Amino acid sequence: MRLAARITGVGAYLPDRILTNADFERMVETDDAWIVERTGIRERHIAAGHETTSTMGAEAARRALVTAGIEATDLDLIVTGTCTPDGLFPAAATLIQHQIGATHAGTFDVNAACTGFLSAFSVATNFIAAGQAERALVVGAETLSRIVDWTDRGTCVLFGDGAGAVVVERAPEGERGGVDAMVLRADGAQAPLLYSQGPCSADALSHEAKIIMDGRNVFRHAVTAMADASSEALRRAGLTADDLALAVPHQANLRIITAVADRLGMPMERVFVNVDRTGNTSSATIPIALAEAVAGGRLAAGDRVLLTAFGGGLTWGALVLEWAGVRVPAAVRMPTGALVASPSA
């Protein structure tokens, strides 16, 4: 069933500090050529000491509210997808609610690792379609630099920090915009392939959260899972890859993205890629990419868009949307990437 909930605002925030592949050459035994060839990543942003998932999420949220033309007080729901909240509680969404002054919003986080944004978005759009909310903010924000093992060359080069946000509102009957189909899946049996222990692990000594990953097997599962979920979402929507104006996949690795596009029969000109500049920001990759796609003029009202993600757990999913069109006010109408860097309006 089509959900009458549409994206009306987008925003993103990336921290100022950039870590290049050359920087990693001084930290672990690696080199730029290896990282670029295996991952497509050239640089990633790293949060400053005072920045957290909620502060970055709040900045992305402020920008999304500007493009939606609404106030924080208009929101009745904030859902944040994150696996690196500021603390175990309050939820990052609750801290964001306070920072942006969304005094009428309920809040909670969704943790589905890198599938966090898709999962949070699914919850918010279903709230709206069910009439339980009118205007929701969905944030994907991560401070992965705080759980990266900086001595493990197999993982530390992959991840970055950042935040993206979208405003979702009810789509009036007969108007453009809505969710055509969504598919969410998980296989907890595969958790050992990609996980992080936390302060509540059974082993009480494991207080330090670190990303642990079997890269080769994660790669294999990621390609199959995203391609299958995308095909299923397209089938449920009654569409094919030819109907898509743009695919916005989770940005983990360029080789994964091209392999998924290949399986779907999507030419790369219609696949959004910014992993070279951001690395893998987990739940934040898709909303950051959406904000950049809007700023770069790559989405028009009526376009069909595919979002697909894969993450630890394992979790994965795909959504097909009809794009409603997001107005970007002059203050934030800039070339690709600039929306991300613009000061909060």
**Strand spans (E) along the chain:** 5-13, 17-20, 43-46, 77-81, 106-110, 135-143, 161-170, 178-186, 194-196, 211-213, 246-249, 304-311, 315-322
Q: Are 112 and 315 in contact (CB under 8 A)?
A: yes
143 binds ligand ACO (CB under 6 A): no
CB of 258 vs ligand ACO, minimal distance in Å: 12
> Toward ligand ACO, which CB reaches closer, 92 or 223?
223
Instruction: Please pick, from the candidates 40, 85, 311, 317, the single residue that binds ligand ACO as defined by CB under 6 A.
Output: 311
Contact assessment for residue 65 and residue 100, using Cβ atoms and an 8 Å cutoff: yes
Site for ligand ACO in 19-58 (CB under 6 A): 30, 34-35, 38-39
- Give the three-state DSSP class for 180: strand
Side chain identity at 116, as an amino acid letter? Answer: G
One-letter amino acid identity for 307? L
| From 114, 156, 253, 274, active-site residue | 114
Task: Please give the residue whose beta carbon sits closest to ligand ACO in the complex.
Answer: 215
Among 25, 74, 106, 154, binds ligand ACO (CB under 6 A): 154
Stretches 173-181, 215-223, 224-232, 268-276: which one binds ligand ACO (CB under 6 A)?
Answer: 215-223
Residue 15 backbone phi and psi in degrees, to 5? -65, 155
Return the number of the residue (41 or 105) whose C-beta is nearest ligand ACO.
41
Virtual CA dihedral for 93, 337, 293, 138, nearest 10 degrees?
0
In this structure, how many other beta carbons lie within 10 angstroms of the beta carbon of residue 216? 9
Is residue 337 near ligand ACO by the rule CB under 6 A? no
Cβ at position 269, least distance to ligand ACO in Å: 23
Residue from 90, 106, 198, 215 touching ligand ACO (CB under 6 A): that is 215
State which of positions 96-125 bind ligand ACO (CB under 6 A): 113-114
The Cα–Cα gap between 219 and 221 comes to: 6
Alpha carbon 136 to its chain's center = 16
Strands 17-20 and 178-186 turn out to be unpaired
Residue 319: burial class (beta carbons within 10 Å; 0-12, 13-18, 19+): buried
Least distance to ligand ACO, CB of residue 214, Å: 8
CA-based angle 220:226:229, to the nearest 5?
130
CB-wise, 39 or 122, nearer to ligand ACO? 39
* Integer Cα distance of 312 and 95 in angstroms: 24
Which of 111, 253, 274, 280 is catalytic? The answer is: 280
Other residues' Cβ atoms within 10 Å of the Cβ of residue 175: 13
Contact stretch for ligand ACO (CB under 6 A) within 67-75, 129-137, 177-185, 217-225: 217-225
Give how many residues touch ligand ACO by CB under 6 A.
Answer: 26
For residue 115, give the amino acid letter.
T
Q: Which of 17, 42, 146, 153 binds ligand ACO (CB under 6 A)?
A: 153
- The tokens describing 148, both together, are 């990266």
Q: Which of 117, 121, 219, 272 binds ligand ACO (CB under 6 A)?
A: 219
Residue 114 among the catalytic residues: yes
Q: How far apart are the first and last CA of the chain?
A: 37
> Is 280 a known active-site residue?
yes
Is-catalytic flag, 83? no
Q: Closest separation between CB of residue 10 and ligand ACO, Å?
A: 21
| Distance of closest approach, residue 312 Cβ to ligand ACO, in angstroms | 5
Residues known to be catalytic: 114, 250, 280
Residues forming contacts to ligand ACO in the complex (CB under 6 A) are 30, 34-35, 38-39, 113-114, 153-154, 157-158, 194, 213, 215-216, 218-219, 222, 252-253, 256, 280, 282, 310-312
